[in-house]
Amino acid sequence: MAHIIDGKAVAAQVTEKVTEAADALRASTGVQPGLAVVIVGEDPASKVYVANKGRTARACGFLSVEHTLPEDTDQAALLGLIEELNTDPAIHGILVQLPLPAQIDAGAVIQAIAPEKDVDGFHFINVGKLSTGETETAFVPCTPAGSMVLLQTVMERDLSGRNAVVIGRSNIVGKPMFNLLLAANATVTVAHSRTADLPALCRTADIVVAAVGRPQMVKGDWIRPGATVIDVGMNRIPAPERGEGKTRLVGDVDFEAAEKVAAAITPVPGGVGPMTIAMLMANACVAAHRAAGRTPPRF
């Protein structure tokens, strides 16, 4: 049976280190890391995510600012707020919660965030740095960054000679995960909906990262014995055994089957999910150190 990678425990270690670094920065420079989260509209899931981010930021000793704008906010108004936050010295990280209402161009909003405050890692400058191997100065998107930390809890930091397959080519997870693994000297293949014989490809991999948004798509017989599996998926499926209309959360991997084959695997929930917020705090802490002219901690 596979070792279950405890994302909650690793996330707690990251946020503890963030808290210590934030306290030390404030004591030595008077700078308190500041994180601003912007949400437009009343999407219930987004509100939960924003509340969780604010709660964690405050627990880490950050200045936590939340801007909640009405659903009919126009793009000019949102861009105006972003510009105010860009020039506010008390704010070191800016996050705009996605999705945005249809009248707003999310891409334009993301590119309006100052790269040095882009703690989501979505600005073209940060994307470009990551894709050219500048992992020390880039802000890396939080989910793949957290996935790499989890990988490094069960594998040596240098992944030279390892074969990795990333299933999914999104800008948020798949592509940055490819670049992180490549920077760690793994040999990486990015698979997607048009990949031929995906099960056979996965069976060649020492590391499988599933990020496709399809519940339990990756079957147990896709996994090479002894591989490490990182399941980024978060999918709700019907759970009639829990009662009428009930659902349960599953990943992109058939966990019960894969657990019998893999050497290590992340569960859903409790795997990659907690790491996403933890790495957001890490990015904001790094941004504050850079703004204060101090060497940032590594996570």
**Residues with a known catalytic role:** 53, 97, 120
Do strands 235-238 and 247-250 pair parallel, antiparallel, or not at all (unpaired)? antiparallel
**Cα–Cα distance for residue pair 71/44, rounded to 1 Å:** 13
Q: What angle do CA 265, 212, 8 make, to 5 degrees?
A: 40
The answer to whether 210 touches 217, Cβ cutoff 8 Å, is yes
272-291 vs 142-154: helix axis angle to the nearest 10?
110
- What are the φ and ψ backbone dihedral angles of 170, each rounded to 5 degrees? -70, 155
Burial (CB < 10 A; 0-12, 13-18, 19+), residue 201, is: middle
Residue 100 near residue 69 (C-beta atoms within 8 A):
no
Is 168 known to sit in a ligand binding site?
A: yes
**CA separation for the pair 64, 85 (Å, rounded):** 13
CA distances from 137 to 119, 140, 160, 225, 276 (A): 12, 9, 22, 36, 19
Beta-strand relationship, 228-231 and 207-210: parallel
Q: Is 170 annotated as a binding residue?
A: yes
Does residue 169 have a known ligand-binding role? yes
Q: Residues forming the annotated binding site?
A: 168-170
Binding residues for NADP(+): 168-170
